[in-house]
Amino acid sequence: MNKKEIWRYKSLEQLENKKWEPNTAENSGLAQKCLALTKVPLVKLSANELSMLIGQSYNPHYLVPLALEILNNDILITAGLYPGDLLKSVLDVPSSFWEEHPDLHNKLQDLMRERMEEVESELDLPDYWR
């Protein structure tokens, strides 16, 4: 294993050296699921779990590269709700993230260019992604 890839085998909790508040009955079901997922090694997260965490604004620095790998294999993967929902979560990541990570932004743009016809057949994209 490449030392640069070790982060994949750690949880968000380990990578961020942060413990989120424990689950309580007051947390929504979604919040409880996300909090539990912060303890799971990233390589074990499913497309559904990545989509959920990205959609709830958990650290895209670690989550987006994994999501892009999945999308490269199946851009319209159904991550629990509808075809393309993981892609939609990634596309909704704030522009500030993409500005800080031009390499990932380029990967996403290349992927979108290559598969635009397929994507547009399933998703209603904002004009800036067309």
pLDDT in tens, 34-92: 889 999 999 999 999 999 999 999 999 999 999 999 999 999 998 888 888 999 999 99
Provide the domain count of the chain: 1
CA angle 108, 112, 117 (to 5 degrees): 170
What secondary structure letter does DSSP report for 129?
G
Q: Is the distance from CB of 86 to CB of 70 less than 8 angstroms?
A: yes
Cα(90)–Cα(33) distance, rounded to whole angstroms? 19
Q: Is 83 helix (H, G, I), strand (E, B) or coil?
A: strand
Q: Which of 101, 109, 106, 3 is nearest to 60 (CA)?
A: 101
Entry pTM? 0.85
Can you give the residue range of the structural domain that contains 82? 3-129
